[in-house]
Amino acid sequence: MKPNINYANLAESYLFSAVAKKAADYAAANPDKKVLKLSIGDVTLPLAPAVIAAMHEAVEEMGKKETFKGYGPEQGYPFLRESIKGYYARRGVTLNADEIFVSDGSKSDCGNILDIFAKENTVLVPDPVYPVYVDTNVMAGRKIVYAAATEENGFLPMPDENTNADIIYICSPNNPTGAAYTKEQLGKWVEYALRKNAVILYDAAYECFAEEGVARSIYEVEGAKKCAIELCSFSKTAGFTGTRCGYTVVPETLVYEGMSLRKMWLRRQTTKFNGVSYIVQKGAAAVFTEEGEKQIRENIDYYRENAKIIAACMEECGIPYTGGKNSPYIWLKCPNSKKSWEFFDDMLEKVQVVGTPGSGFGENGEGYFRLTAFGSRETTKEACARIVKWLKK
């Protein structure tokens, strides 16, 4: 047996494990100090009451012979696919339900979708970005080229005619920079992809944080259904990080060398995936009811307020940052030209606040740092008060 030697090309450990280990080691060595975490992008508010009620009902159904469900459709129950279709329709995007594939979350789909692309494709990934795009392609042995997201371009790289790519990742609103593309900017990417016969993998995991003037779906752009797959998740929208549900949209108009990507993805999913649990899908569908939407909006507003508190803290300290608006992340420039991990150690040591070093998201993230608004209000306020006390000029 020969192992997949591409794994030898991966960085030693996953970024968030490294952050968690450092924070845990510090806490163990300093039991008298209270460590505050604004690091991993995990939600802290519980599921909405409408979701819980729907899941309870579904549990009851599972306990009765007449309503018990065994294996469901691999691509998701029609009731959920229809609800997702309705969610898009309310935003002016028309989809067919059979273009929507329900999954156990976006992370799995990000990796699994690569099954339908040849190994020879060149992948274009923004730098910095969500590390899963890079790692999954390193595992597959694909050539990766980078689009630099820098202070100069507002962390929103635009297509470069001299770069050739077949698979293009776009994450907007972006993790980690919080920057978000307008419809016009995305239009340039769509034009580029169509010209290059490339496919865009559009990660909309944070679409619910997008405010006016910023796109929430790539399909708002004309022509996108001919070149883009959209991945989305209930994790940040509805607090499903531990419940697990997401969806991927593969329009039927995506045809390359005579092959329908929708049909290929259907074939892939029906072969390797057995669907998301009925109970979870019932809970996910409740997110789109009037009551559910209102409740999740309240939770999103809570995180938005946290983001404002962190942004105000940056302003007070005179630290340049992006995000906070359209995004639950604040991407800040490390003070005194510190490197990302240096600043991480410093902040942990001086004020016991944990964030995520920007360098973990790519080379261009060096010298930057990410704070998340997904913490509790109490933690956010206390962390900000400590940072202000420490760094205010």
Q: Distance of CA 211 to CAs 183, 215, 272, Å?
A: 12, 8, 37
For position 15 contacting ligand PLP by CB under 6 A, the verdict is no
List 48, 55, 76, 105, residue binding ligand PLP (CB under 6 A): 105
For position 168 contacting ligand PLP by CB under 6 A, the verdict is no
List 99, 127, 135, 203, residue binding ligand PLP (CB under 6 A): 203
Shortest Å, Cβ 230 to ligand PLP: 12
- Cα–Cα distance for residue pair 377/310, rounded to 1 Å: 11
- Cβ proximity to ligand PLP, 99 vs 230, nearer residue: 230
Span from 52-60, 104-112, 258-266, 287-295 in contact with ligand PLP (CB under 6 A): 104-112
- Cβ proximity to ligand PLP, 19 vs 391, nearer residue: 19
List 41, 126, 328, 375, residue binding ligand PLP (CB under 6 A): 41
- Cα–Cα distance for residue pair 127/109, rounded to 1 Å: 20
- Helices in 170-289 by DSSP H: which ranges? 183-196, 235-238, 261-272, 278-286
Shortest Å, Cβ 231 to ligand PLP: 7
List 75, 175, 243, 326, residue binding ligand PLP (CB under 6 A): 175
For position 283 contacting ligand PLP by CB under 6 A, the verdict is no
Shortest Å, Cβ 94 to ligand PLP: 24
Residue that the structure tokens 């059979």 belong to: 98
The SS3 call for residue 69 is: coil
- Cβ proximity to ligand PLP, 175 vs 380, nearer residue: 175
- Cβ proximity to ligand PLP, 36 vs 171, nearer residue: 171
List 15, 113, 179, 205, residue binding ligand PLP (CB under 6 A): 205
Q: What pairing do the DSSP bridges indicate for beta strands 122-127 and 143-148?
A: parallel
Tokens coding 381: 């306020």
- Cα–Cα distance for residue pair 331/390, rounded to 1 Å: 18
List 76, 246, 275, 323, residue binding ligand PLP (CB under 6 A): 246
For position 76 contacting ligand PLP by CB under 6 A, the verdict is no
Span from 105-113, 266-274, 281-289, 300-308 in contact with ligand PLP (CB under 6 A): 105-113
Q: What pairing do the DSSP bridges indicate for beta strands 368-372 and 356-357?
A: antiparallel
For position 233 contacting ligand PLP by CB under 6 A, the verdict is yes
- Cβ proximity to ligand PLP, 13 vs 67, nearer residue: 13
* Per-residue H/E/C for 321-381: EEECCCCCEEEEECHHHCCHHHHHHHHHHHHCEECEEHHHHCHHHCCEEEEECCCCHHHHH
- Cα–Cα distance for residue pair 58/4, rounded to 1 Å: 41
List 75, 137, 172, 235, residue binding ligand PLP (CB under 6 A): 235
For position 380 contacting ligand PLP by CB under 6 A, the verdict is no
Secondary structure (DSSP) of 93-117: ----GGGEEEES-HHHHHHHGGGGS
Tokens coding 10: 């991966």
- Cβ proximity to ligand PLP, 37 vs 386, nearer residue: 37
Q: Distance of CA 60 to CAs 54, 102, 279, Å?
A: 10, 22, 10
For position 135 contacting ligand PLP by CB under 6 A, the verdict is no
For position 356 contacting ligand PLP by CB under 6 A, the verdict is no
For position 163 contacting ligand PLP by CB under 6 A, the verdict is no
Span from 87-95, 100-108, 119-127, 135-143 in contact with ligand PLP (CB under 6 A): 100-108
For 260-298, b/e burial (b = at least 16 CB within 10 A) is bbbebbbebbeeebebbbbbbbbbbbbbbbeebbebbee
Residue that the structure tokens 């740092």 belong to: 369
Number of residues that bind ligand PLP (CB under 6 A): 13
For position 112 contacting ligand PLP by CB under 6 A, the verdict is no
For 313-327, b/e burial (b = at least 16 CB within 10 A) is bbeebebebbbbbbb
Sheet holding 167-171, edge to edge: 100-103, 246-249, 228-233, 199-203, 167-171, 122-127, 143-148
- Cβ proximity to ligand PLP, 107 vs 325, nearer residue: 107
| Contacts with ligand PLP, residue ranges (CB under 6 A) | 41, 105-107, 130, 171, 175, 203, 205, 233, 235, 241, 246
